[in-house]
Chain A
Amino acid sequence: MGSGERGPAATAVLIAILLVLVPLMGLHLLGSVGLSVYLVNVVGQVMCFALLAMSVDLMWGGAGVLSLGHGLFFAIGGYLSAMHLLRTAFAKTHVLPDFLQFMGQTRFPAYWHLFDSLPLTLLAILLIPGVVAFVFGFVSFRSRVNGVYFSIITQALTYTAMLLMFRNDTGFGGNNGMTGFHAVAGLPVGGAGAAVLLTTLSTLAVLVALVGGRLLITTRFGRMLVAIRDDEPRLRFLGYDTLWLKLSAWCLSAMVAAVAGALYVPQVGIINPSLLDPSLSLEIAVWVAVGGRGGFYGAIIGAVLVNVVKFWLSAAAPSLWPFVLSLLVLLVVLVLPNGLTDLSNRSRSWMADLGRGLRDSGRRRPERGAG
């Protein structure tokens, strides 16, 4: 607890870093200053993960509801974004995507034409995950499914979606997924322009979510969420129908996750059902737990830290990654129950102890000064 006091300072630092990051990427376009395309791309992907972690933190840190299935909303956003990219690619090349050809189709199914339009796609990216989250959340929260039971059901939901998307008949590319994107906003996919654009957008999205999220948790709604986390029955006995409070936060969280997915897919150039694998959804919880729940800055720091290590290890020593991840989980569970937030709390109390010790040593107990 106590994330409130340090929140604003940590948030300000994060905002400053993000604001510096944006022009740094832009500089690359002008010359050799700044980051390489590969690094810009890595930053962009990590930013998407940070946004995804924030969406989980809204529910977990905010309302005490742990989702182990946010990969679902991330993937929905990703698939919708991929559909738009495939339609725009088709408009240029007039070549039907591989997976449709394999299925013996000669043209896109009719509803794909909706995704010609960028505004309609953006609307779908918010609306479809919102509706899925609403239906699932309504049923679960109304039946008062809470705690680990809710977490397990979210996991099952994601797993079900993965099995569904693995099927070729579902019509979204099955096992292989969708790839072969051509351009993003006219900039060729994989090029420096697209990378800078997408990374800038992702960073700005994190920035907006951070500022918006910080504002949200200071409102009456934010306090209601905290009340749900602390003692949901008490809030209900005060006359608040917590179903609607939880449901609105849940739907908002799903939409943020979908935006992250929609930004992520053009950066990696492919989407397949592996995003729906429960292991990704579990990993998001690890990011948030490592950084510290509540207040969003912990989620960002955790997501960035874990993923930077992952990117580095997956090049340097890929087989080590599961062990490093497990170690991180153990460390958080055993030593830092509130993630890195605890570390800053502790260093503070250590500093305070040290200060007190030094003061005391001046008076009577010199040996305490050491510790």
Chain B
Amino acid sequence: MTSATHIAVAVEALVVSFGNFKALDELFFTAAYGEVRGVIGPNGAGKTTLLDVLTGRSSASSGRVTLDGELDLTRMNEVQLALSGIGRKFQKPSVFEALTVWENLDLACRRHRRSLLREVFSTAEAKDSEAVATVLERIGLQRHRNARAATLSHGQKQWLEIGMVLAQEPKVLLLDEPVAGMSDDETIETAALVRSLRGPHRAIVVVEHDMEFVEQIADSVTVMHEGKTLFEGSMQNARADHRVLDVYLGR
């Protein structure tokens, strides 16, 4: 990979409309490899809609979304998107409650990305268990590896889901409000976890309400408002920007 292809995912003039309502209105957005990008904005700004388009849950009315500058993401369904390297952690913890922590991660860790049939009949090799063990250590749930996911606390479920998305080895890691409903201690741990996930082959996008949290983890922020990009830059500058202040503090 050359230094010229830093941008992982690029969104150009993206419009998503539900009837007459435009959830995203000519949105421009990029996320680069190696960075943690915070996406903030008031309710209804279109943050989650952006993630929905990136993961195939909503479809674009017009505009372009590309991965690595070439792959057109607007034509793919959620399965194809997941396999091409987009991973998403949902706002509400979504884990397989009847399975153990290990089994959850093992399922997320695809052994044969090309063929579902081979996946079904695959047997675990040493490298597969190693990959699962690595993720398990990352999210700090080693002691709970054989516990059913249903028995985990809310925060632990959030971490497990982050671990599942991590096990996908995504190029673009989307985190939708990862600290929602977490205690202060858990929030601090999660911030450290997200920071530790930064890597040269990974772009991390965090959608969050909590400005403090975003300030701790994000290298740069995108402020969205009414489906458009209002501001892009550092969190410090965002706080000083009068348009951002207007949106957050009321006009």
Contacts and interface: CB of A to CB of B under 8 A. Distances in A.
Interface of A: 1, 4, 219-221, 223-224, 226-227, 229-231, 233-241, 244-245
Contacts of A219: 120
A220 B122 contact: yes
Q: Lowest 10 A-B CB distances belong to which pairs?
A: A239-B82, A234-B94, A230-B96, A239-B83, A227-B96, A221-B120, A241-B79, A231-B94, A226-B98, A238-B108
Given A220-B120, A226-B98, A230-B97, A238 B55 contact: no
A230 B98 contact: yes
A227 B96 CA distance: 5
Given A221-B120, A227-B107, A236 B98 contact: no
17 contacts: A1-B148, A220-B120, A220-B121, A223-B99, A223-B103, A227-B99, A230-B98, A231-B94, A231-B95, A235-B96, A237-B82, A237-B87, A238-B107, A238-B168, A240-B116, A240-B119, A241-B79
Best-buried of A241, A244, A245 by chain B (most CB within 10 Å): A241
B110 A226 contact: no
Contacts of B98: 1, 4, 226, 229-230
Interface of B: 55, 78-79, 82-83, 87-88, 90, 94-99, 103, 106-108, 110, 113, 116, 119-122, 148, 150, 164, 168
A116 to B, nearest CB: 36
Contacts of A224: 107, 120
Given A233-B78, A239-B79, 13 more contacts: A4-B98, A220-B120, A220-B122, A223-B99, A227-B99, A230-B95, A230-B98, A231-B94, A234-B96, A235-B96, A238-B82, A239-B110, A240-B119
Given A1-B150, A220-B122, A244-B116, A237 B78 contact: yes
A174 to B, nearest CB: 43
Contacts of A226: 96, 98-99
A21 to B, nearest CB: 32
A341 B116 CA distance: 33
Contacts of A239: 79, 82-83, 110, 113, 168
A233 B81 CA distance: 13
Contacts of A245: 116, 120
Nearest to B88: A237
Contacts of A234: 90, 94-96
A226 B97 CA distance: 9
A223 B104 CA distance: 9
B109 to A, nearest CB: 9
Contacts of A241: 79, 116
Contacts of B164: 238
A270 B106 CA distance: 49
Q: Pick from A1, A230, A234 the residue with the most CB of B within 10 Å.
A: A234
B79 A233 contact: no
A294 to B, nearest CB: 9
B78 to A, nearest CB: 5
A229 B150 CA distance: 14
A244 B119 CA distance: 12
B55 A237 contact: yes
A220 B148 CA distance: 16
B99 A230 contact: yes
A183 B215 CA distance: 81
| Max chain A Cβ within 10 angstroms of own Cβ: one of B119, B122, B164 | B119
Contacts of B99: 223, 226-227, 230
A230 B96 CA distance: 5
A128 B195 CA distance: 56
Nearest to B94: A234
A363 to B, nearest CB: 30
Nearest to B85: A239
A358 B87 CA distance: 53
B96 A231 contact: yes
Nearest to B111: A220
Given A236-B79, A237-B55, A240-B79, A220 B119 contact: yes
A238 B97 CA distance: 16
A323 B16 CA distance: 54
A299 B113 CA distance: 35
B59 to A, nearest CB: 14
A233 B94 contact: yes
A235 B150 contact: no
A254 to B, nearest CB: 19
Contacts of A231: 94-97
Contacts of A230: 95-99
Contacts of A227: 96, 99, 107
A235 B97 CA distance: 12
B168 to A, nearest CB: 6
Contact of B82 (A1, A236, A244): A236
Contacts of B122: 220
Contacts of B90: 234, 237
A231 to B, nearest CB: 5
A224 B116 CA distance: 11
Nearest to B82: A239
A233 B88 CA distance: 11
B120 to A, nearest CB: 5
Contacts of B106: 223
A311 B202 CA distance: 65
A132 B36 CA distance: 50
Contacts of A221: 120
Nearest to B103: A223
Q: Chain B CB within 10 Å — which of A4, A230, A239 has the most?
A: A239
B116 to A, nearest CB: 6
Nearest to B56: A237
